[in-house]
Amino acid sequence: MPTWCFISICVLLGVVVRWGVSLNSYSGAGKAPMFGDYEAQRHWQEITYNLPVHEWYFNTTDNDLNYWGLDYPPLTAYHSLICAHIAKIINPEWVQLHKSRGYESTTHKLFMRTTVLVADVLIYIPAVVLYCLWLNGGTIKRKICTLLCFLIYPGLLLIDYGHFQYNAVSLGFAMWAVLALGLSWDALGSVAFSLALNYKQMELYHALPFFCYLLGKCVKMGLLGRGLLMLLKVAAAVLVTFALCWLPFLSDPAQTLQVLRRIFPVARGLFEDKVANTWCSLNILIKIRSILSTDFQLYLSLACTVLAVLPSCIRVLTKPTFWQFKLTLVNSSLGFFLFSYQVHEKSILLTSLPVCLFLNDFPLVCVWFLQASTFSMLPLLLKDGLLVPYVVTSLGFLFFSTYLLSALKHGSEEELALGAYHKLLFFLPRMDLAWILRWKFYISLSAMACLSIASVALPPPPHLPDLFPVLVSTFSFVHFLGTFLYFNVVQFSPLPSRKGQKKNK
């Protein structure tokens, strides 16, 4: 069978799984008065269609910011406007000002789910396909297997097609940026990442790796020669892209400042829900939010985040290879998730994307992390009534990834890049670290299964109503911290001998 047939089958399976998840419930279904993220996306269509641009981010009689006020960058608003124009043609009631609040129907659900799928097919999936075929090492069979596992990662599917969001748009632009940089199309990559950042501000998790990698390349080429020309091209690409995205808001400084205030809500505090990051986990023992002032919490998280991502950024700045760039993407996004201010549980998707880039290189570690990232969102998924798709997609991903990528077979110390740990643990007797890692993987999966069952079947103690969400977030935090340490060690270790030549360019 020709290669393109296998690729088409992988894409088709990815689309089928996505649509299967979309048949289930969504965030806030039937839960007045605020409903959920589904209503937020619909409401943004209503606002952008009916109000002039200068009112989109301001509190007015027609735009109550306390009711799902627009709090994403301009590109999200433009996307909502495009969807609104299509919705208006199909059924004007879907975007009727004020009267459409909380609108729910089978037809509208079909429309909303379709908008997610169309954006996914146009932006995210093509970038994933091209990355796996062009920049992934190994045989064509291995590339296709990696592609399938990449496309059926359950975390993204459950949030975009279950909970309801458009994460695939910003992540898709980020993938195009990674692809462009891997092919040395640096200006185009800068444009793509600027679009990602202008769609969702959380793409700042990836901003430092892009900046340091490109700056490192310019310095390496010589800032008095070709490097300077490249730096000017990249800077021009970024400035022009931002200017075009923000054009309607640049004429009045008050507009610009209001948009910035909306997309960076500092007043919300260090964290809200049970998130699997450092602050939420530490809060179990030390009530940080009660002890420290809001300003001090902000400075503390900023300092810890900078310290966490600084080693990786310096590494890629001084050694700007594509392999180092990808590792920095993982370490930077994990550092931001673990230590930054006002993190949401869904933000783990920003780390999951760069981890997926290593599915072919470190399948066991990546599959383990991706399962943990999906598990970390269990309380949210249960709240949305997504238990069945959570179980089915998680088991399906686990089976295909371990079988097709031979995650458990390709688990030697060399393949897992564990050699450096013997030097770090020199004071302990020499152990088979690969064997230990595999057994930790089995134990971890068993614990995830037990906690998932307990969260569904057992009522929490009356004096500990949040027991299971706290256990889920803390358990996941341990995995994320371990992954952060692992990829940092890999980044500062010699390049494993079996890694492809493309990664070291």
- Assess if residue 268 is contained within a domain: yes
- Assess if residue 350 is contained within a domain: yes
Six-digit token string for 6: 């296998």
- Assess if residue 67 is contained within a domain: no
Domain count, the chain: 1
- Assess if residue 368 is contained within a domain: yes
3-state SS assignment for residue 435: helix
258, containing H or E segment: helix 253-263
According to the model, what pLDDT value does residue 500 have? Answer: 44
Which residue's structure tokens are 């995650």? 407
Distance CA 373, CA 386 (A): 16
Contact status, residue 387 vs residue 381, Cβ threshold 8 Å: yes
Which residue's structure tokens are 């994307």? 353
- Assess if residue 343 is contained within a domain: yes
Range of the domain at 370: 3-29+104-504
Distance CA 289, CA 303 (A): 17
Six-digit token string for 22: 């979309």
According to the model, what pLDDT value does residue 428 have? Answer: 67
For residue 505, the Cα-to-chain-centroid distance in whole angstroms is: 25
Six-digit token string for 370: 């991706």
Torsion on CA atoms 192, 184, 208, 150, rounded to nearest 10: 70
According to the model, what pLDDT value does residue 233 have? Answer: 97
Residues of the chain with pLDDT under 70: 267-269, 410-411, 422, 425-428, 497-505
